[in-house]
Structure formats: structure tokens, C-alpha cells
Chains A and B, each alone.
Chain A
């Protein structure tokens, strides 16, 4: 472990902890103002750094720009205030929400804009943040931290150390442990194995949000018309199908072949506008394996940078992402419910195309609470939406008696 890194972490921890009280005293409305003020500055930096973001995220420019504008769409002062007000409304009688203190965020790197939510929400509720980024995708988090630090430095200099992003390897376990023992709350994004390992390192009193592995599914009960599948193609190509909200299988009560052919046309057009990024070796291998099963069955449709397989009825053969999608015929919605429920909490998103499909959510088991959205909206969650069944303030506030 580098001694400079250790010193830097110790120093940063001390400075972030010193921000706990002033950030709380600032009040929610002022924090919302400053965060909202940092957004245009960040957006401008991100657009200037598009080449670096391409290299860091592995996405092509057109897809990056679309992902950025989608992510920032809901990041406004009004929405931030609404999030704060909802937390107030949720307070038990005689209490008010208070920050927990230093928050540690182990950031995701599969979707390049995902760190924004992970950084903004704890800060909005008055918690200083130290974030651990992965070297495979840390550029955007650093850009946001720079924009926010500058905004704080100009308006509230005492808070310039309220957010710091560190990039270091997961092998640096000692360093991670130093951070974990100081944090009052921790949120970690990663595989189930990773988030379990972090839980084991945490002191008992630390609040913990674990965002483990997950995926999205989609359900279509109507005809396979071009407009519907064009919207669904957007859900597949966004972030190159690498997020936990990305759909990996489309279940249809209609004609699966017709749906596959319409989706091929939609994906060809969408991929032309926003081509897929480079395929890492590991993923290319998984893609080869996955597509070959379709090839051997004679049910594979391949485009320039995507593929569709028509699968037999039953549980899905999960695609590796990167614009590979399975279409699965269904006998009934009951069958879909059974399959969806089998994924449990790992089912994080459900794309639908009709009100009737939306009502299905009520029939899923209690612990299965995917984000439900229309086709074309699966990968555009607003910042004030619940995430994995949790309201935006959950995990970041403590309700204290209001004196």
C-alpha cells in the first residue's frame, strides 16, 4: 500500500468529518441550491471531457451524450426540494430528518452516470461523502466532485471538503477498512459477493445499503408493432445493456418471431445512430457462447452490433448484455409472474407496454419490487424515484426528536 495514499486517506477522512456539522447547519434548501448549481458546471465539464469518458466508460460518444442528458434531466432544484420535502413528510410525529454523518459510497462502474445519484443524495441530506471509485470507470465521479468542490468553495468555503472521490484497487483492503470504520453509513454497488464481503467488514452500528447483482426483464402483451419495439430498442442500447435496469429478455404473449423481426429493424436503426462501444475480451467470449446456442437451434438473428435469439418457453437463458436480447414466448401472464418471481430481489426493472401489464406488479411477491416503466423509459430513472423499493432519503437520514 502506498504511504502517500494512506496519508491522503487519513487527511481526507479528517477533513470530511470536519464538514459534518457545517453541512448539517447549512440546511436542506441551501444544500439543494448548491447541488443544483453544480449540475450545469459538471455538465459542461463532462461534455468537454467526452473523449476521456469514452475511454473510461467504453461507450461510444453518441451513447455517452444521450446517457448524460437522460441522467441530468431530473437533476433540478425543484426535484431536490421535492425529495427533501418527502423526507420531512415521512418523519414520524415529533421528529425531523437529520443527517447520519460521513457517508462512504463504493461506486458502480457498469453505468457511467450511476455515481451521480450515489453522490448527490447523501449530500442533499447533509452527509459528507467519501466515494471509492473503480479505476475502470472513475472519470465521471471525479468530474462531478471537482464541479461540486468548486461550487462549495465559491459559495460556502467551509464545505469544500464535503465530497472526495478516491480511486484505488479492491485489493487495498486495509485502505477500505479505514474508510468503513469511520463511515456512519455505507452504500455499495457490486456483485452479490462484493456487497456481502463489505457487509462483513462493517461495524454493527453502520447503516448499510447493498446494491447487489440484478437485471431487467420486459413483458409485451400487445402486437409487435414497430413503434413499440423502437422504444424497447432504446432500453437495450442505453449504456450498452450493462446496467441492472437493462432488459435481458422480452417475454411476449404474441408471435415471438414477428417480435424478433420488428426488434431487429428497430435495433438496426438505433445502433446506426448510437453504435455499441468496444466489447471487452471476457464479454466477447460470453457473447460467443450465448449466441452459439441460438445458432445451433437456428433461432439467432444477428445485426452489426446486436443479436436476438428466440428462446423456447420457460425461464430465460440470461444474455451477457452488450446488446444481446432473448425473446421468449409466453402462454399466460401467470407464467410470466412465476418466472419474474423466481429472480427475487435481483429483478430490478420490469419494462411493460400496457396498463394491464402494470397491474401485474401487485401480484408479485412482496420482496420482488422491480422498477416498473414503459418501454423506452427503462433506463431513465429520475433522481426522486424510489430505488430498489427504497425512497431517496432512506439510508441517509435519522429521524431525531424535533426540539
Chain B
């Protein structure tokens, strides 16, 4: 990066940090967010040649109202970072494939990531544990030491450090320590538990725990994240919540999903736990079974039509675009393959767009490439 770029980057960093801090209470100012996103995208377009090529083509096609969003597949094949490789402080990678490439998120600086993740974590997972109080932590995921390129493990490591007492990561070398899990969950006298993990680890636990049932102390909570892509079994969210509620003996409102992606620096959460703990009302639910994921105020998220890239009206199905202000050193505007509907509070996920392949002997890309995520 040149000296002038460096100065511009530092100025933007300060501006973003100030924006995140100013909106830590969850209140949104989408006009200010839009203006700052424009500045960040412009900076990134000047610094990242492949983003510049993509943005130029989008403008040539007349699509210039918003900064160009980069589809996530591009992260698998092209380096997307404003800084040179030697300045990478951390690289988060998407799950692997045997034949294809893994998406990479090159981070030069984790300060924006950390700030955003902790604000969101405190707001949606630990709103009742502010001021340095800590909650017992049981984590069904590998530790950040075991998988330093997993953004999820990194975030859980942050939570372990800031919100949890005696946290234990129970997924090691791909195996769940279910005996330890039983022991920890039976320790009722030690107070409520935060049970955090990937959706598939919870499914592992379901199988490993057999007929065991638990009654977690009042104030306990569960956060699950990630889908079932490439897995042999999958559960829809309401089924998963019912299963967890029955297994661990806690209210379904205390079971929430987190949504994040390797290519992003920010996370979305369901608001039910916060509402339960603080007595707030969440009425923006399109159906009894669907839950809304709430983005932080420094993120703009909306579904678009996959051909026109136009925003679809609220309630209609489109593919989710996410503009994340805290992705300063990579790409702020990301186009996912997740199907979603917008609501006034946030978005409702409706699965992944790759899933539907017409029946027949035709190509099923994930199968052909031997996805082993």
C-alpha cells in the first residue's frame, strides 16, 4: 500500500471504529452507514485489481446504484485484500473441498472484528452478564488453537476470554468428548451454562448422549451456528430447537442461532434470548416457525434477485447480499448464495441456493467435487 493509501486506510479505520462504537446500542442509521460503505468500497476498488475489474463490468451493465458486491466464490480463487500478503495477520478459511479451492479471508488487523463480535455477543448472547460477570462455558467446537484458520473458533475464543468462566472446547481432533459434556452438564450447582457450538456438533452430541436428558439451570442458553451443507443428516431450525430444548431442558427462547461467514467480520443473531432475558417484545416474525436474524447496525443485509441484482421487496425470496463495514481490509460488499427474505428487523434465511439440482443424472457440483466440509 502506498503512503497515501495507508493514511486513507487509517482514517477509514478510525471512522468505522467510531461508527461501531456509536451504534453499539443497536440503533441503526442506514443513511450514514450507506455513505460510509460507499467510501470503503471506493477505497477497496482502488486497492484491489480484481474487485476493480468486477466493479467496472457491473457499471458497464448499468448496475451502479450500490457498490458492486463480490460473490463468495471469488474468495476461493482470487486474493481479495487491500494489503500485501506479508501484512496478513490472520487468514480465515472456508471449509475444504477435495477438488476445489477454499475461500480465504485475509485479515491485516482484527481490531474491528473483535470490537464488533464482542458488542454483538454481549447484546444477543450475554445481555444479562455485563460488567465483567462471567457465565460457565461449554463449547461444542474446536478451539482456536486447534483450528487457527476458523473464524468461528476465533469468535468462540473471544467469547471464552470475555464472557465465559472455565470455558471448555469439547470437539478435539474431530471427536466430541461426550463424557466430559455429560459431566459438565450435570454440574447444576455451578450455575447456568452457555452451551455454544456448531449445528452439526449438536447433532453429534444427540447421537453420543443416547437417552441422557439434562435440566440445565435457569439462565442457561444455547447458541448454534452453521448449517448442514455436505452432511449426511440435516434438521430444519424448528426441529433442531425442539430437539435441543428437549435434550437440555431449556426454553426454546433461550436457544438462538448465530449467522456468520468466513468472508465477513460481523455476525447476525436471533433476538429471542435477548427478548426473554430483558422482557422485550419481538413481533417481527413472519411465521410461527421462522425466526429473524438481526444484523448489527454496521451491516446492511438484503436479498437481491440473482440476475438483475436488484433488491427484492420485503417478504420476497432472493439471494442475500451483505455489506459489512468492518471488512475494511478485504471486501465490504459480499454476495452470498443464501436464500433469504427481508423483514423490518432483519432477514429470515431460507436455505442455500445451491441445493436444488433437477433430479436426474445431471451435474450435482458439490457431489462431483467431493465436498468434504
Give the B-binding residues of A (Cβ under 8 A): 108-111, 114, 134, 136-137, 189-194, 211-215, 242-244, 246, 248, 279-290, 292-293, 295-298, 300, 315, 317-318, 320-321, 342-343, 346, 348
Contacts and interface: CB of A to CB of B under 8 A. Distances in A.
Nearest to B232: A193
B337 A137 contact: no
Interface string B335-373: 101010000000000000111111111111101110000
B94 interface: no
Which of A191, A243, A300: most chain B CB closer than 10 A? A191
B361 A248 contact: no
B84 interface: no
A242 B71 contact: no
B368 A343 contact: yes
10 contacts: A110-B359, A136-B358, A213-B364, A243-B361, A282-B353, A284-B307, A286-B337, A287-B306, A297-B77, A318-B368
Nearest to A280: B356
Nearest to B363: A215
Interface in B32-76: 50-51, 53-54, 57, 70-74, 76
A243 B356 contact: no
Given A285-B306, A293-B77, A190 B363 contact: no
A296 B78 contact: yes
Interface of B: 50-51, 53-54, 57, 70-74, 76-78, 99-100, 305-307, 309, 317-319, 335, 337, 339, 353-365, 367-369
A285 B319 contact: yes
Contact of B365 (A137, A212, A295, A318): A318
A285 B50 CA distance: 20
Contact of B358 (A110, A279, A287, A343): A110
Contacts of B367: 191-193, 212-213
A292 B335 contact: yes
B361 A190 contact: yes
A302 B309 CA distance: 16
B71 A288 contact: yes
A111 B361 CA distance: 9
B335 A114 contact: no
Contacts of B339: 281-282, 285
A282 B354 contact: yes
A281 B353 contact: yes
A213 B361 contact: yes
B362 A110 contact: yes
Which of B71, B78, B359, B367: most chain A CB closer than 10 A? B359
Given A211-B361, A300-B57, 12 more contacts: A108-B359, A111-B360, A193-B364, A214-B362, A242-B358, A280-B356, A281-B319, A285-B353, A286-B337, A288-B306, A292-B54, A296-B50
B362 A248 contact: no
Given A281-B317, A289-B72, A137 B358 contact: yes
The 9 closest A-B pairs by CB, nearest first: A110-B360, A108-B360, A285-B353, A284-B306, A244-B361, A110-B362, A292-B71, A296-B50, A289-B73
B363 A214 contact: yes
Nearest to B101: A317
Contacts of A111: 360, 362
A311 to B, nearest CB: 9
Nearest to A192: B367
A50 B255 CA distance: 51
B5 to A, nearest CB: 20
B361 A297 contact: no
A315 B99 contact: yes
Which of B339, B354, B363: most chain A CB closer than 10 A? B363
B354 A286 contact: yes
Nearest to B69: A292
A295 B364 contact: no
B53 A296 contact: yes
A213 B78 CA distance: 28
Given A136-B358, A191-B357, A287-B306, A293 B73 contact: yes
A211 B360 CA distance: 8
Contacts of B74: 292-293, 296
A342 B370 CA distance: 11
A317 B74 CA distance: 12
A128 B121 CA distance: 62
A391 B92 CA distance: 50
A246 B357 CA distance: 15
B360 A318 contact: no
A213 B70 contact: no
Contacts of B355: 282
A315 B97 CA distance: 13
Nearest to A134: B359
A317 B78 CA distance: 13
A194 B359 contact: yes
Nearest to A242: B362
A36 B361 CA distance: 26
Contact of A285 (B99, B337, B358): B337
A346 B360 contact: no
Contacts of B359: 108-110, 134, 136-137, 189-191, 194
Contact of B368 (A110, A281, A346): A346
A287 B53 CA distance: 18
A293 B75 CA distance: 9
Given A110-B358, A282-B356, A293 B78 contact: yes
Contacts of B318: 281
Contacts of B361: 108, 110, 114, 189-190, 211-214, 243-244, 348
